[in-house]
Structure 1
Amino acid sequence: MDYQLTLNWPDFIERYWQKRPVVLKRGFANFIDPISPDELAGLAMESEVDSRLVSHQDGKWQVSHGPFESYDHLSENNWSLLVQAVNHWHEPSAALMHPFRALPDWRIDDLMISFSVPGGGVGPHLDQYDVFIIQGTGRRRWRVGEKVPMKQHCPHPDLLQVDPFEAIIDEEMEPGDILYIPPGFPHEGYSLENSLNYSVGYRAPNARELFSGFADYVLQRELGSQRYADPDVPSRDHPADILPTELDRLREMMLGLINQPEHFKQWFGEFITQSRHELDVAPPEPPYQPDEIYDALQQGDTLERLGGLRVLRIDGEVFVNGEKINSRTVRRWTP
């Protein structure tokens, strides 16, 4: 399926991206679901796939995590099945990601798909990332509030919600409609009938994740071995004092590592191409040999990109799944 998104990207970025939520009516005209509820339920039975069931009854919330063996215990109301990274496992669903490549690949995370029965949802909550929510079959009511400080609570240990909010968007979504929500805007959605939703989520690392990832890189490569030195150690009023000039020198030591462009580029390429979810990898036995692959390509066979594989470039260098690919041929290839 070739999904065509009716969206003026420059106008959208100027007016809405990370600024305001918006409903894009018929963003996908004549939308056709790439997956059925039964197929989604089947994926949630696989141990490699991240999934969860969220249900509520009389104000009590329950969350269970896959893989699931059966759904016979579920009622006809008030539950949702959510499956992460479906683009890693289901090629027709992965096609939904293509229209969103107007935004940088490195910012895209994964495609989460949910199936909900009437009343199904996860309650009012916040996300710290951008998301496009595409309405598939069925109808769902969405409410979005203003971005203001909100108190969060856990009605279940695996479920974080916010207090009720006043809506600035209150919309009944139909197939092909898209709801864009920037980070920090409270929202909630409840199915009005059996429905499918497709969430294209974006990756936004925080400073803590960046520091932690770079620290791992430094340790793995045994960088930063230079020790603190003070041949001109200054005098002080008391031996217990640490002087501002000494703090500056220590900070400069740390910043000196980050300020090495080649190392920073190498680290970020590896860091940002690591997938947060499993990939559909089944190594052949015995492994293919280079000449076998060459012969197959010469005979007209083609290589297909693995679903969810993160392939990015920095200054012409290609990074794939957490590794830098050292090949002049690969560098000429556009991911």
Structure 2
Amino acid sequence: MQLLGHLSAAEFLRDYWQKKPLLIRNAIPDFEPLLSAEELAGLSLEEEIESRLILEEGRAGPWELRKGPFTEDDYRQLPDKKWTLLVQSVDQWLPEAADLLGLFDFLPGWRIDDLMISYAVDGGSVGPHFDQYDVFLLQAEGQREWRTGQRCNADSALIKGTSLSILADFKEDERWTLNPGDMLYLPPGLAHHGIARGNCQTYSIGFRAPSAAQLVERAADAILSGLTEHQRYADADLHEQEAGGEISAAAVQRLKTLLSEQLNQDDLLSRVLGELMTEPRNSPEPDDPQTPDWSELCEALSYTDTLYRHEQARFAFSRHSGHIEMYVQGEAQILPDSDLALVTALCGSRTMSSSQIMLLARTQTAQQLLCDLYGRHLIYAEGDDDGSPDY
């Protein structure tokens, strides 16, 4: 696999994923940036696109954070050195950026979060820090020096006087200079510090990693919705005890059994994970979707070879006994096993053969699924205007 250098996907997952950093020289040969610095700055002027400026020597003090949207005048007032522009979720606004994420298809698609672009002038940095998630750092333009350090956690000391989470004590372990096409993988919790050597662009491919608190809260909500007042703590095996006020180990064990029974629901937990991991940052869905019927959709797709999953659409699925569940934009829907091939294709790649997709839609539920997704602008045909259906 070229993206991983001499490593296979299996070797990377076994030896590096969530374990240790990996530098891959020339991961994407002859790589060219998808946007110029001016075009990236243009995105940061938009209200709906999340952007930030970080100035190491700001007017408000060291490591000043400014949040977008910005204006052209904001850029005219910036210093010559030591600032960085971060534009989040560029893949949701630029099809070419969404296509770039397809290179990481050796990882579950529902784990990928977004592609953030960092543009920095000479000396620009966001400071030594660590992330709670995996990240691939692809050098797109110019050079950036990366330094990696110690393992960090919630107790790691941060500098005071800034809203940025910058490590107070960074212990450098390794140092690399990345050129265009080079890529650095970093596991969660590893301290790192990137510094621009001249003007440069870096693409950060980040991954979703819900906190335990988020997952427990979602699971608890799902479990609570299925419980009744008749399901209660019980102790038919109760024995006489010497201290009447004591909560015994046996009582705690009964509670553990009760909770375990509720958690031992694979279908429910699949839905919890599927809905959470497909919640979108943004959505292309119109307020009043116009859903075509099957004949209208067939007519619309007869003029194109390619069907696309919208850049802002998030799909996943899980298999169950007698059915499958597809998760679309944070919502679950049950489909028969006969639709598995279609659902697998829709969730597996952003770019699909329209004729192949139509062939896979053999059942009425499959056809209705495609009509719904198309009407909601979550899939679109080559030639559609900004993903808007044409029928």
Please, what TM-score do these two structures have when normalized by structure 1? 0.89
Q: Does 2:152 match 1:152? A: no
Distance (Å, rounded) in 2 between the aligned partners of 1:295 and 1:162: 58
**CA shift in 2, pair 1:303/1:248, >3 Å:** same
Distance (Å, rounded) in 2 between the aligned partners of 1:264 and 1:308: 25
Shift of 1:174: 0.8
1:63-212 equivalence runs, <5 A: 63-70=65-72, 71-147=75-151, 151-212=156-217
Shift of 1:11: 2.9
Specify the code of the residue in structure 1 equivalent to 2:267: E
Q: Is the 8 A contact 2:130 2:152 kept in 1?
A: no
**CA shift in 2, pair 1:245/1:12, >3 Å:** same
Query: Of 268, 276, 291, which aligns to 2:273?
Result: 268
Q: SS in structure 1 opposite 2:222?
A: helix
Deviation string, structure 1 residues 182-231 (Cα, Å, up to 9, x no partner): 11211101111111110111222332221012122234x34364122334
Q: How many residues align?
A: 330
Q: Is the 8 A contact 1:109 1:203 kept in 2?
A: yes
Distance (Å, rounded) in 2 between the aligned partners of 1:263 and 1:272: 14
After the TM superposition, which of the residue ranges 45-54 and 324-333 deviates more from structure 2?
324-333
Shift of 1:21: 1.1
Distance (Å, rounded) in 1 between the aligned partners of 2:278 and 2:285: 20
Shift of 1:232: 5.0
Query: Of 43, 62, 71, which aligns to 2:64?
Result: 62
Distance (Å, rounded) in 1 between the aligned partners of 2:261 and 2:50: 39
Q: SS in structure 2 opposite 1:162?
A: coil
Shift of 1:96: 1.7
Deviation string, structure 1 residues 107-138 (Cα, Å, up to 9, x no partner): 22211111111111110001121111000111
Q: Which residue of 1 aligns with 2:326?
A: 318
Q: SS in structure 2 opposite 1:295?
A: helix
Q: Is the 8 A contact 1:60 1:155 kept in 2?
A: no
Runs of 5+ unmatched residues, structure 2 = 348-391
Q: Is the 8 A contact 1:62 1:156 kept in 2?
A: no
Q: SS in structure 2 opposite 1:214?
A: helix
Q: Does 2:18 match 1:18? A: yes
Shift of 1:261: 2.0
Q: SS in structure 2 opposite 1:14?
A: helix
Q: Is the 8 A contact 1:6 1:28 kept in 2?
A: no
Distance (Å, rounded) in 2 between the aligned partners of 1:103 and 1:267: 20
Q: Which residue of 1 aligns with 2:3?
A: 5
After the TM superposition, which of the residue ranges 154-163 and 135-144 deviates more from structure 2?
154-163
Deviation string, structure 1 residues 58-108 (Cα, Å, up to 9, x no partner): 871100112223322212211111112111111111122111111222322
After the TM superposition, which of the residue ranges 281-290 and 24-33 deviates more from structure 2?
281-290
Q: Which residue of 2 aligns with 1:31?
A: 31
**Greater per-residue helix proportion:** 2
Distance (Å, rounded) in 1 between the aligned partners of 2:211 and 2:289: 41
Distance (Å, rounded) in 2 between the aligned partners of 1:302 and 1:22: 35
Q: SS in structure 1 opposite 2:118?
A: strand
Runs of 5+ unmatched residues, structure 1 = none
Q: Which residue of 1 aligns with 2:340?
A: 331
Shift of 1:157: 4.3
Q: SS in structure 2 opposite 1:271?
A: helix
Distance (Å, rounded) in 1 between the aligned partners of 2:302 and 2:27: 41
Distance (Å, rounded) in 2 between the aligned partners of 1:131 and 1:286: 36
| Identical amino acids, percent of aligned pairs | 37
**CA shift in 2, pair 1:330/1:308, >3 Å:** farther
Q: SS in structure 1 opposite 2:190?
A: coil
Query: Of 250, 258, 263, which aligns to 1:253?
Result: 258
Specify the code of the residue in structure 1 equivalent to 2:332: K
Distance (Å, rounded) in 2 between the aligned partners of 1:128 and 1:117: 26
Q: SS in structure 1 opposite 2:246?
A: coil
Q: Is the 8 A contact 1:140 1:191 kept in 2?
A: yes
**CA shift in 2, pair 1:253/1:47, >3 Å:** farther
- Which structure has more RCO (C-alpha within 8 Å, separation ≥ 6)? 1
Shift of 1:283: 1.0
Shift of 1:299: 5.0
Distance (Å, rounded) in 2 between the aligned partners of 1:311 and 1:286: 19
Specify the code of the residue in structure 2 equivalent to 1:78: K
Q: Does 2:292 match 1:289? A: yes
Q: Which residue of 1 aligns with 2:48?
A: 48
After the TM superposition, which of the residue ranges 170-179 and 293-302 deviates more from structure 2?
293-302
Q: Which residue of 1 aligns with 2:384?
A: none
**CA shift in 2, pair 1:4/1:296, >3 Å:** farther
